Amino acid sequence: MRNSFSALRNRHLDVLVNRNRSVDREPSFRYHKSMKGKAVFVFLAGWMIPGCGHLLEKKYIRAALFFTSITVMFTVGLLLQGRFYEVNEGNPLAFLAFVGNLGNGLLYLAAKLFGWTRTDFASITYEYGTAYMITSGLLNFLIALNGYDICRGRKK
C-alpha cells in the first residue's frame, strides 16, 4: 500500500514540475509563407462580415455566435439612435470613434448606404447607441484578429 501511494505522489509531483517547463510554442504544422495570403483574407473577411473568418476556418458555432452578437449589438445601437462619426472632425478621439464604427464592416457600409446614420441628439438614448455601435466594431476587429491567429496556427 505504501509503495502505491509513493508512486502516485511521485507522479503527481512530476506533473506539477513539468507543467511549468517551457513548452514548444510552434504550431503543430509548418507555416508556409504562401499561407499568409490566406490568413490576411480570413482577417478581411472576418472584418467585413462578423464571424466570416471563423466560418472559413470551419469554426461554425463560433462563427454563428460572433455574427449574431455583433449584428445584435450594432442593431441595438442603431435603434437607440447612435452617432456615426466622420473622419474630418479634427478631434483625435472622434477619429478613434470613427475607427470603432468602421470596425463593423459591411454593417457600417449598409447603414451609410441606406441612410440610417441620422442621429437625433435630442434623444436620451443616443449616447448608449453610440457606445453599442463603437463597442461592436472594436469587438469585431478582435474577432477578425482571432480568426487570423487561428489561420496562422497560433490558436486552436
Each residue of 23-66: pLDDT tens digit?
444 444 455 555 678 889 999 999 999 999 999 999 999 999 99
Cell 453610440 found at = 130
Q: Which domain, by its residues, includes 87?
A: 35-152
Closest to 79 (Cα-Cα) out of 87, 89, 88, 71: 71
Task: Indicate whether 108 belongs to any domain.
Answer: yes
Supply the pTM of this predicted model. 0.74
User: How high is the pLDDT of residue 23?
Assistant: 46
Pairwise pLDDT comparison (155 vs 30), residue with the higher score:
155
Least confident of 8-12, 29-33, 151-155: 29-33
pLDDT at 22: 47
| Whole-number pLDDT of residue 28 | 44
The answer to whether residue 63 sits within a structural domain is yes
Cα distances (Å, whole numbers) of residue 98 to 51, 104, 106, 108, 130: 21, 10, 14, 10, 11
Looking at the 3D structure of the chain, how many domains does it have? 1
**Averaged over 121-129, what is the pLDDT?**
88
pLDDT surpassing 70 at residue 136: yes
Q: Is residue 142 part of a domain?
A: yes
Whether residue 110 is contained in a domain is answered as: yes
**Pick from 12-21, 61-70, 140-149: least confident:** 12-21
* Position 39 in a domain: yes
* Per-state percent for the chain, helix, strand, coil, to nearest 5: 70, 0, 30
List the Cα angle 13/26/145 in 5-degree steps. Answer: 115
Task: Check whether 102 has a pLDDT greater than 70.
Answer: yes
Q: How confident is residue 8, by pLDDT bands cut at 50, 70 and 90?
A: low
Residue 113 lies in a domain: yes
132 touches 76 (CB < 8 A)? yes
